[in-house]
């Protein structure tokens, strides 16, 4: 490929498929056309593409734009941030990072590839901050349900924002008992969510353990959603059902969420490098460089 191509790394965070595209030192940008084309190929399919650009704020390590596989932009991606930190820690031989995102400044620390922590910021629970299309005084449970009106399968989800809008349905049974692939895309686009929403089913196993499945806005069902794990943990604590430090088991493994005393939510988990390539950020054409 030509010198106009940009290097990228194919990675994953607990099975959440991530591409980290290095766009530092360039004037051009990744386009939605390129993102959709990359996501459509089996080898480069991703849940989120992390576009790493030069910093615009002094003292930060980079500006990150986050693409969903449908070509839309996301505000936050905790699993993707861990992948970025892992890649940059290898390159720069440092362990502490500060990045600019659409959700604000995010800090990250790498102990090793299995213990990468990201400060996901403060959860927001006000209906206008999520946002919702109408006012709800108590967002620990809003009027929304799955299934027949007189016999809903799930109802009264908690809603929160962790940079992305989230709705969490609390399941009395195993999270695999529900057809998330059927109602996820419907509820993602429900009129109550003007910016769409991530839809999760959560089962609280203990005060320090939640099991979670998520339909991600713009990506579909994924093996892990870091911001959903944070939203679920924070919402469960607000309801008095969980501690401030919890293990959240997602299909890809375990994330550890700590809602700290200063209200910052810190997520810890692994990241894994798979292979590298080069891509045209305008068209999405690509080639594998290192297996």
Residue 77 falls in the annotated catalytic set: yes
DSSP 8-class letter at 124: B
145-263 fold: Diaminopimelate Epimerase; Chain A, domain 1 (3.10.310)
Instruction: Show the beta-strand stretches assigned E in the chain.
Output: 6-13, 16-22, 48-53, 62-68, 73-74, 96-101, 104-112, 115-119, 145-146, 154-155, 158-161, 165-170, 198-206, 209-216, 220-221, 245-250, 253-259, 265-269, 272-279, 286-290
Query: What is the reported pLDDT for 213?
Result: 98
- For residue range 90-114, list pLDDT tens digits in order: 899 999 999 999 988 999 999 999 9
Provide the whole-model pTM. Answer: 0.94
| Percent of the chain whose pLDDT exceeds 70 | 99
Whole-angstrom distance, CA of residue 109 vs CA of residue 232? 22
Q: What is the mean pLDDT of the chain?
A: 95
Residue 225 falls in the annotated catalytic set: yes
Using alpha carbons, select from 53, 52, 59 the residue that is nearest to residue 20.
52
Task: Spot the catalytic one: 77, 83, 230, 242.
Answer: 77
Query: What is the reported pLDDT for 27?
Result: 95
Tokens representing residue 117 in the block: 């922590």
Whole-angstrom distance, CA of residue 275 vs CA of residue 12? 10
- For residue range 121-149, list pLDDT tens digits in order: 999 999 999 999 999 999 999 999 988 88
Whole-angstrom distance, CA of residue 38 vs CA of residue 48? 11
- For residue range 48-102, list pLDDT tens digits in order: 999 999 999 999 999 999 999 999 999 889 999 999 999 999 899 999 999 999 9
Domain boundaries, the chain: 6-121+271-290, 145-263
Task: Spot the catalytic one: 83, 225, 230, 242.
Answer: 225
- For residue range 220-277, list pLDDT tens digits in order: 999 999 999 999 999 999 999 999 999 999 999 999 999 999 999 999 999 999 999 9
3-state secondary structure (DSSP) of residue 197? coil
**CATH dotted code for 6-121+271-290:** 3.10.310.10
- Residue 231 backbone dihedrals phi, psi, to 5 degrees: -65, -40
């Amino acid at each position: 490929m030509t010198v106009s191509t940009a290097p990228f790394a194919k990675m994953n965070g607990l099975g959440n498929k991530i591409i980290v595209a290095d766009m530092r030192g360039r004037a051009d940008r990744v386009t939605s056309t390129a993102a959709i084309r990359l996501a459509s190929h089996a080898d480069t399919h991703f849940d989120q593409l992390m576009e790493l650009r030069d910093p615009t704020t002094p003292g930060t390590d980079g500006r990150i734009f986050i693409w969903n596989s449908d070509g839309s932009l996301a505000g936050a991606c905790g699993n993707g941030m861990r992948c970025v930190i892992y890649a940059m820690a290898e390159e720069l031989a440092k362990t502490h990072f500060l990045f600019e995102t659409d959700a604000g400044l995010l800090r990250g620390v790498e102990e090793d590839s299995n213990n990468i922590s990201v400060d996901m910021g403060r959860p927001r629970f006000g209906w206008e901050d999520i946002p919702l299309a109408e006012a709800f005084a108590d967002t620990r449970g809003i009027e929304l349900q799955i299934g027949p009106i007189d016999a809903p399968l799930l109802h009264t989800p908690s809603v929160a924002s962790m940079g992305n809008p989230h709705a969490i349905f609390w399941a009395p049974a195993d999270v695999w008992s529900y057809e998330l692939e059927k109602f996820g895309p419907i509820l993602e686009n429900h009129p109550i969510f003007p910016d769409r929403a991530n839809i999760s089913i959560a089962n609280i196993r203990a005060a320090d353990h939640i099991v979670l499945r998520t339909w991600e806005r713009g990506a579909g069902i994924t093996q892990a959603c870091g911001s959903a794990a944070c939203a679920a943990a924070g919402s469960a604590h607000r309801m008095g059902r969980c501690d401030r430090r919890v293990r959240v088991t997602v299909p890809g493994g375990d994330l550890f969420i700590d809602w700290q005393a200063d209200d910052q939510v810190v997520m810890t988990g692994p990241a894994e490098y798979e292979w590298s390539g080069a891509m045209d950020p305008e068209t999405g054409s690509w080639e594998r460089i290192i297996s």
